[in-house]
Amino acid sequence: MKFFSLLTAALASTVASSPLEARQANSSSIAVSSTSIASSSSASAPLTTASQAAGSGGAKNSTIINSYNSTLSYNSTATSNDSSVYGVGAAGFANVKKSKHPLNIVLTNDDSWASANIRALYYALRRAGHRVLLVAPSHNQSGKGGTVVFPTSLNITSEGRGGFVPVGAPYAGLNVSDPALRYFNGTPVATAGWALDNDAVYFFNASRNDTTAGVDLVVSGPNEGTNLGPFLYTLSGTIGASYFSVERSVPSIAFSASTDIRQYTTLNLSNPDDESVKIATYSSNFVTIVSDEAKRSNSSARILPLGIGLTVNYPKIAPTGNCSNLTWVHSRLTGKAIIDRFVLNATTGLPTYADLVSAGLNTCISGNCSLPGETDVIQNGKCQASASLYSVDYDAPTNATSDFVAALTSGISLLNSNVTSSSSNRTNSTTA
């Protein structure tokens, strides 16, 4: 709890409590001015439009090249001063904190590489000094959870979200203007796996025998919408990519935000109050402060223990919401969390879902039961972000199962004795 109170104070001082005018004034020293960084035209502008793709007969766009065998490293894609790179030096990211221990980060999501949220976070993390490789699905893959679906053809057969990956493009590609921006035509877990086993190995100059590919952290999101409680933890593709990474021994943090669904071409990178820019600044500062704290006494320390991940949720922030002075709360997944119950739509007569707060979902059997549930933290109207630790060790805690263990042990013994008895009878029958 002490750590999260320190985190709250540090993050609040960087963004939430400073007025817009002050943040704009602080941006005057940025090397790249806001006037030279238009949000809709640059080296990272859309690679094609849907109409252009159709007009060219679905041919592969000249600014997308395949990344099947890309051996480009971070050193060959980044300049000596990241602030001179498009987006990274934008005035909107003036409140991003610099990292004391820059990380090798794989950035992914389930909304696709065309999402405004993931592009903004890419720029913010690089502004912080981290080395970032963005590899996200070509198409919207929301709600895919932990499913693994690979490409079934060498080329894209239906255009990606927003038309930014045209029909005919390779199943895995990169933007030649910024080769750290990449897509993969698969589910979020498949995309995260592709990033670790193909792109990141070369990008971070890792050994082919290093199954973590030299990655210090996988960041997933920020998702376009919150993912609250264990039910959505299971369903979310954003969190699916995160817990897959944890299972691959790579620390991971998933971010989910109450934001609009936007294409990255709508970003106003010169405005620190742009919704996606603001969420990206919060998220980058969270990553930087948490990782710096974890490495304070040992620069080679892991950010999170093996088998442990973090999931962060944001309320609706100003200017599109009422939250303007965000604070942070150490929370847990359970506690007022919802699951679906299925009902009939009175108008259509078709099945749909309704929210149900069930005891089975919210009974606290592991972790710190005194922590508030993340659902309540986000919905209580107090302008708070939740940060919940989770484990991929799904074994039931012994203190919650002690009464049943005796019955289970006895039942297994009886089942095994029946098997032994049946086997003995068959042997005797054969001998006779």
The catalytic residues are 256
**Please, which residues have CB within 8 angstroms of residue 288's CB and are 6 or more apart in sequence?**
97, 98, 99, 128, 130
Element (H, E) at 382: none
Helix 116-127 × helix 275-294 angle, to 10°: 40
State the residue for tokens 């106003």.
Answer: 268
DSSP 224-242: EB---HHHHHHH-HHHHHH
Q: Are 148 and 193 in contact (CB under 8 A)?
A: yes
Q: Are 133 and 107 in contact (CB under 8 A)?
A: yes
Radius of gyration (Cα) for the chain, nearest Å? 24
Cα 226 from Cα 421, distance rounded (Å): 54
Cα 328 from Cα 383, distance rounded (Å): 9
Cα 219 from Cα 309, distance rounded (Å): 10
Strands (E), 90-232: 104-108, 131-137, 172-175, 178-184, 217-224
Rounded to the nearest angstrom, the gap between the alpha carbon of residue 127 and the centroid of all alpha carbons in its chain is 18
- Tokens of residue 422, six digits: 């049946």
Q: Which of 148, 33, 178 is nearest to 92 (CA)?
A: 33
